[in-house]
């Protein structure tokens, strides 16, 4: 049994959408979360900048004695996994894209048309397409970058006509042209607009990769004999800039255990 916390991070508050499934799958684990709210969005930055920021955060979490790194960010998972694995060989580093791709491949067949919506960086790397096709080359995968979603979500502009128009702007032609029937939320901020998407396209099947990340985290802890079945003490949610929206989101998500919110600037 290893009582050290799990380190989970994202460019902002999007990664918080992965906390509930992880906490549900692993109730004995303490969490150290970091959201880089001062520097979000990452998805329109260069690959080099994303890698540099990811290393700074990982370093901070590792210095705080985490027993693994779970990357609740597709943009970082698409760019920085090899770098993080090389930099911290003593702990497991688990990204969100590989487990999500395995789930997509297992639940789709050649008759499906799979759409991936993600940040510009994630789309540019084609990480989802490659990972899904590695499992099943017969699958049809199409990608769409939606860079304006994250700033609006970080501002909590969700239940609004502006958000619905933006969803239509990105998805109307994409869905109809490729006859998309399965949509993968390839950015951890997007589960926060899942209901808007479903309202606009009720026939779509939506895959939220946060469950696949939770299963991968659980598997990795088990395989590495790092599980804890302790009653977790307080989890801590760090942000590089603490906004009201960040505090509200944490409060909404963490209902079962105690937690702290703390600022950490770079
Ligand atoms: N939530 C992140 C992701 O899953 C990145 C959003 C951003 O900072 O652009 O890709």
Structure token pair of residue 184? 């993968």
On whether residue 237 sits in a domain, the answer given is yes
In a domain, 233, yes or no: yes
**CB 89 within 8 Å of CB 25:** no
65: domain CATH number is: 3.40.50.1860
Annotated catalytic sites, by residue? 73, 187
Mean pLDDT of 47-65: 98
Q: What is the mean pLDDT of residues 2-7?
A: 96
Same domain flag for 110 and 88: no
Ligand 1 atom with minimal separation from the 188 CA:
4
High-pLDDT (> 70) share of the chain, %: 100
In what helix (H) or strand (E) does residue 9 lie, and over which residues does it extend? strand 6-10
Last residue of a domain, one of 209, 230, 246: 209
Contact 103, 209 (CB under 8 A): yes
How far apart CA 197 and CA 189 sit, in angstroms, is: 13
Contact indicator for 136, 90 with CB cutoff of 8 Å: no
| Token output for 147 | 């860079």
Q: What percent of the chain has pLDDT over 90?
A: 92
Same domain, 191 and 239: no
- Which ranges constitute the DSSP H helices of the chain? 19-25, 47-63, 74-87, 97-107, 120-125, 127-135, 149-154, 161-178, 194-200, 210-223, 244-253
**pLDDT tens-digit profile of 224-259?**
999 998 887 789 999 999 999 999 989 988 877 789
Give the residue, out of 33, 57, 74, 185, with the most ligand 1 atoms within 8 A of its beta carbon, to mutate for a pocket test.
74
The two three-digit tokens of residue 137, written as one number? 């080359």
* Both structure tokens of 44: 């329109």
Q: Give the confidence band of 115 by pLDDT, cuts at 50, 70, 90.
A: very high
Q: What's the sign of the alpha-carbon dihedral 81, 213, 34, 186?
A: positive
pLDDT tens column, 185-199:
999 999 999 999 999
Confidence band, pLDDT 50/70/90 cuts, at residue 70: very high
Mean pLDDT of 32-50: 96
| pTM beyond cutoff 0.85 | yes
Instruction: Provide the pLDDT for residue 231.
Output: 80
Max CA separation in the chain (angstroms): 51
Total count of domains within the chain? 2
Same domain as 244, residue 141: no
Rounded to 10 deg, the angle between the 127-135 and 74-87 helix axes is 80
Structural domain that includes position 128? 97-209
Domain end, chosen from 185, 209, 233, is at 209
Q: Is 208 in the pocket of ligand 1 (CB under 6 A)?
A: no
**41 prior amide bond cis, ω within 30:** yes
Q: What was the pLDDT predicted at 254?
A: 82
Of 129-133, 138-142, 226-230, the one with minimum mean pLDDT is: 226-230
Ligand 1 pocket residue status of 105, Cβ below 6 Å: no
Indicate if ligand 1 lies below 6 Å from the C-beta of 40: yes
Task: Report the alpha-carbon distance of residue 120 to residue 199 in Å, rounded.
Answer: 25
Cβ-proximal residues to 48 (8 Å cutoff; 6+ apart), any chain: none
Contact 42, 75 (CB under 8 A): yes
Residue 116 in any domain: the answer is yes
């Amino acid at each position: 049994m290893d009582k050290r916390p799990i380190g989970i991070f994202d460019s902002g508050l999007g990664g918080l959408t992965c906390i509930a499934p992880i906490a549900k799958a692993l109730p004995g684990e303490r969490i150290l979360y970091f959201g880089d709210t001062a520097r979000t969005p990452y998805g329109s930055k260069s690959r080099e900048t994303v890698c540099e920021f990811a290393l700074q955060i990982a370093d901070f979490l590792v210095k705080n004695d985490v027993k693994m790194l779970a990357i609740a960010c597709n943009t970082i998972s698409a760019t920085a996994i090899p770098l993080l694995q090389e930099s911290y060989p003593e702990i497991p580093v688990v990204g969100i894209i590989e487990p999500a791709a395995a789930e997509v491949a297992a639940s789709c067949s050649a008759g499906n048309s799979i759409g991936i919506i993600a940040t510009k960086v994630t789309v540019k790397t084609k990480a989802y397409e490659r990972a899904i096709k590695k499992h099943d080359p017969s699958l049809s995968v199409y990608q769409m970058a939606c860079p304006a979603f994250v700033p609006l979500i970080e501002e909590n502009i969700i239940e609004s006509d502006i958000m619905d128009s933006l969803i239509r702007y990105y998805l109307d032609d994409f869905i109809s042209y490729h006859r998309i029937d399965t949509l993968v939320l390839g950015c951890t901020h997007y589960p926060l607009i899942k209901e808007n998407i479903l309202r606009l396209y009720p026939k779509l099947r939506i895959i939220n990769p946060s469950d696949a990340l939770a299963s991968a985290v659980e598997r990795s802890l088990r395989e590495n004999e790092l599980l804890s079945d302790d009653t977790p003490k307080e989890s801590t949610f760090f942000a590089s800039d603490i906004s009201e929206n960040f505090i509200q989101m944490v409060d909404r998500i963490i209902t079962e255990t105690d937690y702290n919110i703390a600022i950490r600037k770079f």
